[in-house]
Each structure stands twice: as structure tokens, then as C-alpha cells.
Structure 1
Amino acid sequence: MHVTLYRKYRPKTFEEVAGESDIIKTLKNSLDNNKLSHAYLFSGPRGVGKTTSARLIAKGVNCLNNGISSTPCNHCENCQEIDKGSFIDLIEIDAASNRGIDEIRELKDKINYRPSKGRKKIYIIDEVHMLTKEAFNALLKTLEEPPEHVIFILATTEPDKILPTIISRCQRYDFKTLSYKEVSEKLSDICEKENIKIDNGSLELIYEASGGSMRDSISILERVIIANLNQDIIESKTSEILGVTSKETLREFYDIIKSKSLKNGVEFLEKLWIDSIDIEKYFKDFAKYIKDEVISQRISVEEGLKIIGGVYDSLNKFKYEEDKRLLGHVVLNNIIKLSEKSKETEIVYKEVVVSPKENIDENSKTEKEILISIDEVKNKWNDILKAAKDEKPTYKAFLSDAFPLKIEDNTLYIAFRENEFSKESMESDYYNLPFQEIVQQITKSKLKTAYIFKKEIKEKSKDNMTKNLVSYLEGLN
């Protein structure tokens, strides 16, 4: 009979549990020093070890050879029956399907009977938050004064739905999703024991698909193994099986963006289209990949924000476009233009100031940033607005109500007369950083940009602003 990998490799000792080292250490100390609570609450996402830890406590309490210990023998009758799920003194209740007061009353009726084979009866109530209010109240009375031969272990994915009075009577442990390192080590160990070769790219894809759940990770691994019988597991095949975008493909597209080759980019997108890959989903995966690269410091924050902003700016603007292949070309063009703009603004504008009494040599040169006045900025304001509109059409609407007010500490303060929403939008990195670069490029300075709201300043009429907004909206149609 086939045994699923998750059941086959379910931890039989605390040492085999992946992650949650602090929780495991505390539970082991409790067993080794016989300082067990009468009730535990294990909360956390699915598949992270809550029920497994509960069963290990049951083994640690009822092992015939080693006594109450964090290292049960795994060979005695009690240990083996607990592993098989047939131990009479281990009662597991699924609250999702047994959520009423009748089930809890039945539990209360049987709870006073002493264990048949073990030292203690262990009650594991899974998804305990699913119990009805009446059932909770009945359980509360049981938890207040349980018999000494009983241990309750409540497991839940939604602890906020449990009555505070229940929580206060339990020793609570909050389990978390597992890290990539913890999951990949477990999956690699399973593959080694199953004589299967798997690459790191596949492990990353499985982890991403599992959401940090060990149970889901092993289930996904088994699915991938079945699809690759008698073959090595490689990233490209795994991504195809799981229907996700491989990191290799995302890296390849990022290299094209860096090379600024529209031709290669179009050919790459055409291949995705031929392979029936969802272009819109691909770009969302690409934005997530860039975010991960920024977090890992392999891409600068500025570059990452430009690319992510360019992707979503295009996707939102053309979200009703039916031709997704065309949408892909628009996104490609947008982010390559942003990448080129970023390179252009890396130029540092400096002037050399030389003392008239000294000879011109390397030691006599000092560098000084070019200073600029508010009047010079005002003279170039229309050029700045035009360049901004060409960069992002939304700037036309946001800046229709704005004007350069003053320069202090190398910061250009831009005032908004009435539209506070526009001010708040411009303050976001998504809009501010590209606009700041435009200001720096046109003014040949290193000015930073900041925004203030000036209600008291006389403004252009609301009619002018309305006309600008209408003009912008019409331009989008």
C-alpha cells in the first residue's frame, strides 16, 4: 500500500521537527522535568507542526520504555500505536466537523475514565476555533478543573476566534511559517532518501508555492516527483508542473531590461506567448522577483522601484486591453525607458573652482555643487512639467495645481494650492523619485523635492484645474 511522503516522513522525534526551535526546546524541557501543563494552545498557519508536536507530547508522556521523556523510544507498543494513529488514549477531535455542544458533552462524560494503556489521556482538538459558542462554554468548564490524568492540546489557525477565557487557561505557543532554509533542508533530505536528484531552483519554487507550510511543501514535492518519474527534477520542469514562473526565466528577462534591447525583449515575450504563458501574470511575477532582489540587495532600491512602478503603471493603465501580447510590449517599452532615464540621471553635475593665485593642478581643484535659485527653477518650470507629463501622464493632473515655492537646504519645495490628494500622491516614492530626477536633470542640480499644502496662496481658478483634469482623462481614452 502506497504511503504518502508526508506520512512516511512525519517527525517521530522532536529533533526531526523543522523550525520552531524555541517552542520545541520548551516542550522538551517540560517533558524531561515532568512539568507539563494540563492544557496547551498551539496556534499558527496550516502545516507548520502543530498536530505533529501534539502527538510527540503524547508519545513523550506515554512511552513504556523511557518513561516521561522528550526522547520516546519509538519501539514500544504505545509509541508505535501513536505513530499509526491507533492509540486508544490519544483522542483526536476535528472541531470543523464536530463543533456542537453534544460532542463536547460526550467528551466530558468520558473524560473521567482513567487511561486504558498509557499514563495520561491526550485530547487533541484540531481547528478548535470552529466550535460553537455553547460548545466553547462547555469546554471552558472542563478546562477549569480537568482530571490529573488528562492533557488537552488545542490547535487552531485562527486564535482570535477563541474566547479569551479559554486562552487564559492554556499554555500558548504560536507557530510560524517555516523559512526557505528549514523547508529546503527537509525536502533535500527526503529526496536523498528517495534517491532523487533535485536542483535548488525547484526547491525555491516548491517553497514559494507552499507558503512556508511543511505539509504543503512535501505534498507538492510528491506531485513533482510523480510527474518526473525516473528523471532528475529541474527548475524548468518544476515551473511547468506547478504553473509558476521560474526564477531562471525572470532572471533572463531582467538581463534583457539591463541591456535595453527592445528587439530581444519582444522576441522573449513572443516566446512566452507561444508557450501559452499568461503575460499579465508573468509581469506580476516579475515585479515580485524584482522586489525580492531589492530585499536581497542584489538590485538597488531606486532601480527596483522604477521597474516595479513601470510594470504596475502600465498594467493599471491598460487593464482593459484584451490583446495581452500588446500589453506586454507596452510594459517592456515602459520599463526600458525608465531604466534609460535612471542611467541618464546618474550624471553628477559639478563645477571646478580654481583659486586665481594658484596654478591649475590636481591638488588645487575643489568640487562644488552648482547652486540654483528659485527664480531659475520657475523659469524652467514649464519644461519640467512637460518632461514629467512625458514620463507619466498622471503628472499632468497631479501638478496642475502646483508651483515651485522656495529652495531651502538644497530642497525644492513645491506648493499645492487646493488639491491635497495630488500632494499626497506626489509624496509617494513611486511618483516623487522619478519627478525628482526630472527636476535634477533639467535644472542641472542635485535638488531634492518636497511638497507642502498652501491654502492661503491665491490660486488659479477651479475652472482651469477642472479643464486640466478633463484634458488628462480624455487623453487616456
Structure 2
Amino acid sequence: MDKFIVSARKYRPQNFSTVVGQAHITTTLKNAIKNNQLAHAFLFCGPRGVGKTTCARILAKTINCENQTKDGEACNTCNSCVSFDAGISLNIHELDAASNNSVDDIRSLVEQVRFAPQAGKYKVYIVDEVHMLSASAFNAFLKTLEEPPPYAIFILATTEKHKILPTILSRCQIFDFKRITNNDTVEHLQEICDKEAVTAEKSALHIIAQKSEGCMRDALSIMDKIVSFTGGQLTYQNTLEHLNILDEDYYFKLLDSLQQQNLADAMLMYDEINRKGFEGDTVLEGFAEFLRNLLVSKDAKVAMLLEVAEDFKQKYLQTAQKIAPSYIISALNILNEAGINYKQARNKRLHVELTIIKLCYLQQALELVSNEGGVSKKKLIDSTKAVAFRALPIREATRQEGNKATSVKPSQNEAKLIIEQPKESSIPAPKFETSKPQTAATEQPATSAGLSSLKAIRNKVAQQNKSNNTLAKQLTEEELYACWGIFIEKLRERKNHSAVTNFKLATLKVIDENSINIITESEIHKSFVENERAELIVYLQDYFGNRLLTYQIQVIEREKTGKEEPRPLNTKEQYLRIIEEYPLVKELKDRLRLELDF
């Protein structure tokens, strides 16, 4: 029994012509070999499994081939090609930088570069996953990479180009590999199936290509796994079952239920999907991709972006013509928000069901309407009702007609606020109409009662203002400093000594009967006063009996002179001055074991 070799290794390309989906890379390399314009350092970067290491090995074999073809390909028959295919060639050295990323590993590589090849023209050094090298290893590699011997060629391969130092990038020819398209992947998988005598449906191969996301190695691994699972029969159904992918027929049925606003069928459909073991986020992502394909199918210009199996393309095109673009765009927005919030939801199933409910009644909520050549959204409301306000009578005291003012009796005309019911979901502004009361006698008691209560409130406010005016004090600087001193004593009682010191240093000025200016010497001084703003303004207004009284704080720094101006001593400095002149005071404090609160 022969040993099994996976398809990714068994069918690895051996020539540039067999590389799949990288024609822009292979053509450039073949032309460089034919014209003898090879660089001394290459950098192959791109996603995983797209052929970076394969192209590096083909390049190493081709430049040492003894009988190159006219197209710049290796002959695969000379001693160099045979030894290379057998893995015993001494002209190629591969280094895995993921596990050999230290300075010592690079130094040993540099030491080998000094020796010329025993057979062939070039010695090729392939460094895979080069982004894993440490910064010190990169720096040790710089000089050799910039000026290698004429027989040495370096090929660096990486999936993360942004992690490589710019000094390394500037010394290499950079080749960007792209993802392999679904069509190229399907064609390559079909060739391998024909060689292996495997029966494969094209729709199944297309599902594998979509699942691999442009990675040929992943596609070959998936195909090997499914072929082993099915015994050589690669069908659409067993591929869906093995890859745990939801059939697109479910999405078509779900869309029909949502379009018909049949919530019961939609919920039962999701329950069936959930019973098969599919998670809610898989359903949301799959349905969003399904709607994206529908949106792409609506325009023939972008229908080429539709990456689905050939069996479903016609069905997509037919369904897309029945669905309004407004519904697809709004549904995509809802699904996007649901997918973002899915991980944070505690009840995952309820979260998905609420999304399905929104999609089911989406047609009633949104409508896409034209707006001066553009497109905008408008909410639809079947029956909009205004708020039911009670009609309140409002008496008019006087009405001016021209330049003359004529008095109107309350019993003759009254203004009433009338709210009309809107028609066809339009809500007009409230209208004021003047109408005569049915019976003046019935409304007169309520009106007089309202006026009497309003008059009582006005009289009470007037009495309060009058009492406040009698207790009000005139705002002068003497009264202001007296009030300021009382407030400082309150601060001292609260033991806020830092604020006491700064309040004493403030200068007060009266601007007018309602304004006070507080002058401070610095921003720090100002901050201490600002900290007491809430209590200070209430105290000043109560003291002077003036609710309109306000103050502002102004910072005026004193000009520095040669001689410092004396400042008042704080409590601690006063104590130190006393015990300096009278030492017995300190002795008395120590004997009595007194504690001072500075």
C-alpha cells in the first residue's frame, strides 16, 4: 500500500506555468531569468496558501537549471532539477524564521553565504515567515542583504509585510501575491479530480472555493477531507453537510416568507435551521451575504461580482428583480447591527428572532421615495393621531385694531385652542379659532375662580418682594468687607484654613448695585475662591437681600519689585515666631502634651 500524500503536496506546482492565479508574478520572474536581470533579494508577500514558497522554490530550481527552455522554465530532466526535486540539492537553503528568529540563527546563515556553490550558478536562501525575526536579527541581516556575493540570492516570504523593517523592504524587490479567485480554484480542483478519478459536482467545488477564501492549500485540504468522507463522491449536499454550511435554498424560502409578511413560517424556518445545529451568528452572516448577492444581481454591470455556483445564478437574477432595493438596503443595515450586537446578547435565540420580526414588517416601516432626483427614506404610519388636548378658554383683555385699542368684554369673545385630527398621516400645526361660548353663565364661575387664585399668588409674591426690599442692605464696600469677614469666620469654623488664608488676601470692589468684583493675585488664589462659589453666592444674596447680586473674579498679579511686600503670617508661622521669642511657651506645650491645629 502506497503512502498517502495530501493533494497540497502531491500537486504542488513544479514550473511557473502550473502556478494558479499568479500570472503577474510568474511572468515577471520568467522575463527576469530570460533577460538575465535577476535581483539579489526578493520579498514575496501575500495571504496564506497562495503560492509564495512554491514560487520561491521554482525560482531557485529554474535559475540553476542546466537546460532552460525558451520561456524561462526549468527542464526537470538535468542533474540540478532532479536533485532539487529529490530534495538533495546543496544550492538551496530554507530557513523557518518562525522558529529560528534569533541573532545567532542569522549569523550562522551569513556564515554559510561565504561559501560558493559546488555545482550550479547560484546559492538560494529562502527565509519563510521573515516577519517573525527579532529586531536584532534584522539588523544583523542588513549588510549581507544589501551587498551579498554575486552567487547568493535571498528570497524572503511573509504574510505580514507591515511588520518588516523599512530598511529591509528598501533592499528587496517586492512581489505582492493576490488571493486566488473562485473560478481559478474551481478549475484547478476539477483538474485534480479528473486525475484522481473523483466524481465531483461543480456546485460542490464552488462551495469549497468559497470556504477557502482564496487559499489554494485550504481548498485542497477541504477537498481531501470530503473525498475521504464520501468515498470519492463529491456532491453538493454532502459538501454542505461536511462543511456545516447552510443551504441557499433556506435563504430563498426565508426571503419569500419575509416578503409575504408571514411571520409564522419565518419563525418555523429559523427553528428548523436552529435544530440542525447552526448558530445564530452563522444565520445572520449567511443571510446578509445572500442579500448582498441579490443587490449585486439587480444590475447587469456588477453581476460579475456574484460569486455563487452556476446552478444558482439564474435563480438569483430572477429573485433580484422582484425585490425592491429599499428593502435590501434596509435589511442589510438591520442584519449588520444584529451581527455586531450578537455576542453581547444574553439570549442569542431571542436576539435572532427579534431581527427576523423586524425584517418581516420592514415593508410597513420604510419606503424609498424619490426626492428631487435623489433617494431618501420616509417613515410610513398607517394612522397617526394627534394628542387629545382639552380645549382651554383663554380670555383676551385688549385687541388692537389699527392705532386704536378697543376693549373687548370677556363674555363676548373667547380664544380656544382646537386640535384637528390629521388626514392621511399628516399632522398640521395647532390652529387658534375664536368662537363664542354657548352659555356664558356656565363658564363664568370657573373663570372667576381661576382669576381669584392667580390674583392670590400675585399678591403673595408682591408681599415677599416687599419684605425682601425692607430687609435689603445697601451694597457698599464697608458692608461688603463686613459680610466677607463673617464668611471667613464660617470657613474657619469648618477648619478650612487654606481657604481662610486666600479669602483674606482677596480685594473687593463694588461695580454697581448688583455686581461685585473680587480681585486675586494668582490662578491658585482664584481657584480657592472658586471652590466656595456655590455657598458664597447664596450667602452674599441673603446678606444683602438681593437675588440679582452676582460677582466676578479677576486675577491681577502684583508687579515684582526688588523688595518683597510683607504678607500676613499664617498660624504656623505665628507659632514659630512666638516660641522663638518665648521658649517657655514651647516648654509649657510639651509638658501639658498639647496638640496644635494649624
Fold similarity call, TM over 0.5: yes
Q: Work out whether 1:235 is the aligned partner of 2:236.
A: yes
Q: Distance in 1 between matches of 2:343 and 2:146?
A: 57
Asked if the contact 1:270/1:325 (under 8 Å) is kept, the reply is no
Choose the corresponding residue for 2:221, options 216, 219, 222: 219
Choose the corresponding residue for 1:28, options 19, 27, 30: 30
Q: Distance in 1 between matches of 2:52 and 2:383?
A: 58
The structure number with the bigger radius of gyration is: 2
Letter in 1 for 2:123: K
For each residue in 1:371-416, what CA deviation from the matched residue of structure 2 results, as whole angstroms up to 9, or x when unmatched?
Answer: xxxxxxxxx99979979xxxxxxxxxxxxxxxxxxxxxxxxxxxxx
SS in 2 for 1:172: strand
Match of 1:123 in 2: 125
More displaced stretch, 50-59 vs 222-231: 222-231
- Is there any run of 5+ residues in structure 2 with no aligned partner, and where? 299-316, 386-423, 428-598
Please report how far the alpha carbon of residue 250 of structure 1 lies from its aligned counterpart in structure 2 after TM superposition: 2.7
Letter in 2 for 1:286: F
Q: Please report the TM-score for the alignment, with normalisation by the length of structure 2.
A: 0.55
More displaced stretch, 36-45 vs 243-252: 243-252
Measured at CA, do residues 252 and 121 of structure 1 come closer, stay the same or move farther in structure 2, by a change above 3 Å?
A: farther
Q: Work out whether 1:78 is the aligned partner of 2:102.
A: no
Match of 1:102 in 2: 104
Measured at CA, do residues 295 and 134 of structure 1 come closer, stay the same or move farther in structure 2, by a change above 3 Å?
A: same
Asked if the contact 1:272/1:279 (under 8 Å) is kept, the reply is no
Please report how far the alpha carbon of residue 242 of structure 1 lies from its aligned counterpart in structure 2 after TM superposition: 1.7
Asked if the contact 1:66/1:73 (under 8 Å) is kept, the reply is yes
Q: Distance in 1 between matches of 2:5 and 2:275?
A: 39
Match of 1:17 in 2: 19
Match of 1:205 in 2: 207
Q: Distance in 1 between matches of 2:94 and 2:325?
A: 49
Choose the corresponding residue for 1:160, options 156, 159, 162: 162
Q: Distance in 2 between matches of 1:141 and 1:246?
A: 56
Letter in 2 for 1:63: C
Q: Work out whether 1:333 is the aligned partner of 2:357.
A: yes
Asked if the contact 1:40/1:154 (under 8 Å) is kept, the reply is yes
Measured at CA, do residues 341 and 193 of structure 1 come closer, stay the same or move farther in structure 2, by a change above 3 Å?
A: farther
Q: Distance in 1 between matches of 2:359 and 2:146?
A: 62
Q: Work out whether 1:302 is the aligned partner of 2:326.
A: yes
For each residue in 1:266-301, what CA deviation from the matched residue of structure 2 results, as whole angstroms up to 9, or x when unmatched?
Answer: 332222132222234212221122123323435464
Asked if the contact 1:60/1:68 (under 8 Å) is kept, the reply is no
SS in 2 for 1:142: helix
Measured at CA, do residues 2 and 341 of structure 1 come closer, stay the same or move farther in structure 2, by a change above 3 Å?
A: same
Q: Distance in 2 between matches of 1:283 and 1:381?
A: 25
Match of 1:8 in 2: 10
Match of 1:142 in 2: 144
SS in 2 for 1:105: helix
Q: Please report the TM-score for the alignment, with normalisation by the length of structure 1.
A: 0.68
More displaced stretch, 250-259 vs 330-339: 250-259
SS in 2 for 1:41: strand
Match of 1:293 in 2: 294
Match of 1:414 in 2: none
For each residue in 1:409-438, what CA deviation from the matched residue of structure 2 results, as whole angstroms up to 9, or x when unmatched?
Answer: xxxxxxxxxxxxxxxxxxxxxxxxxxxxxx
Q: Distance in 1 between matches of 2:244 and 2:221?
A: 16
SS in 2 for 1:91: strand
Letter in 1 for 2:287: F
Q: Distance in 2 between matches of 1:315 and 1:66?
A: 55
Please report how far the alpha carbon of residue 4 of structure 1 lies from its aligned counterpart in structure 2 after TM superposition: 0.8
Match of 1:38 in 2: 40
Match of 1:279 in 2: 280
Measured at CA, do residues 67 and 324 of structure 1 come closer, stay the same or move farther in structure 2, by a change above 3 Å?
A: closer
More displaced stretch, 250-259 vs 212-221: 250-259
Asked if the contact 2:130/2:158 (under 8 Å) is kept, the reply is yes
Please report how far the alpha carbon of residue 42 of structure 1 lies from its aligned counterpart in structure 2 after TM superposition: 0.7
Q: Distance in 2 between matches of 1:108 and 1:316?
A: 50
More displaced stretch, 193-202 vs 25-34: 193-202
Match of 2:537 in 1: none
Asked if the contact 2:266/2:356 (under 8 Å) is kept, the reply is yes
Asked if the contact 2:342/2:348 (under 8 Å) is kept, the reply is no
Asked if the contact 1:34/1:68 (under 8 Å) is kept, the reply is no
SS in 1 for 2:114: coil
Q: Distance in 2 between matches of 1:28 and 1:99?
A: 31
SS in 2 for 1:153: strand
Q: Distance in 2 between matches of 1:70 and 1:340?
A: 65
- Is there any run of 5+ residues in structure 1 with no aligned partner, and where? 350-367, 370-379, 388-440, 445-477
Please report how far the alpha carbon of residue 198 of structure 1 lies from its aligned counterpart in structure 2 after TM superposition: 2.5
Asked if the contact 2:47/2:159 (under 8 Å) is kept, the reply is yes
Please report how far the alpha carbon of residue 129 of structure 1 lies from its aligned counterpart in structure 2 after TM superposition: 1.1
Measured at CA, do residues 221 and 31 of structure 1 come closer, stay the same or move farther in structure 2, by a change above 3 Å?
A: same
Please report how far the alpha carbon of residue 116 of structure 1 lies from its aligned counterpart in structure 2 after TM superposition: 2.5
State the identity as a percent.
35
Backbone CA RMSD of aligned residues: 3.2
Letter in 2 for 1:120: Y
Measured at CA, do residues 292 and 113 of structure 1 come closer, stay the same or move farther in structure 2, by a change above 3 Å?
A: same
Q: Distance in 1 between matches of 2:345 and 2:383?
A: 28
Q: Distance in 2 between matches of 1:138 and 1:278?
A: 50
Q: Distance in 1 between matches of 2:380 and 2:211?
A: 49
Q: Distance in 1 between matches of 2:171 and 2:224?
A: 40
More displaced stretch, 298-307 vs 270-279: 298-307
For each residue in 1:431-465, what CA deviation from the matched residue of structure 2 results, as whole angstroms up to 9, or x when unmatched?
Answer: xxxxxxxxxx9469xxxxxxxxxxxxxxxxxxxxx
Q: Distance in 1 between matches of 2:46 and 2:292?
A: 26
For each residue in 1:104-131, what CA deviation from the matched residue of structure 2 results, as whole angstroms up to 9, or x when unmatched?
Answer: 1111111121112322111100011111
Asked if the contact 2:125/2:153 (under 8 Å) is kept, the reply is yes
Match of 2:268 in 1: 267
Q: Distance in 2 between matches of 1:215 and 1:183?
A: 10
Match of 1:169 in 2: 171
Q: Distance in 2 between matches of 1:66 and 1:317?
A: 59
Total equivalences in the alignment: 360
Q: Distance in 1 between matches of 2:167 and 2:288?
A: 45
Asked if the contact 1:94/1:126 (under 8 Å) is kept, the reply is yes
Choose the corresponding residue for 1:89, options 91, 116, 131: 91
Letter in 2 for 1:31: I
Q: Distance in 2 between matches of 1:32 and 1:313?
A: 55
Please report how far the alpha carbon of residue 68 of structure 1 lies from its aligned counterpart in structure 2 after TM superposition: 9.1
Match of 2:468 in 1: none
Match of 1:245 in 2: 246
Asked if the contact 2:97/2:130 (under 8 Å) is kept, the reply is yes
Q: Distance in 2 between matches of 1:109 and 1:138?
A: 12
Measured at CA, do residues 114 and 205 of structure 1 come closer, stay the same or move farther in structure 2, by a change above 3 Å?
A: same
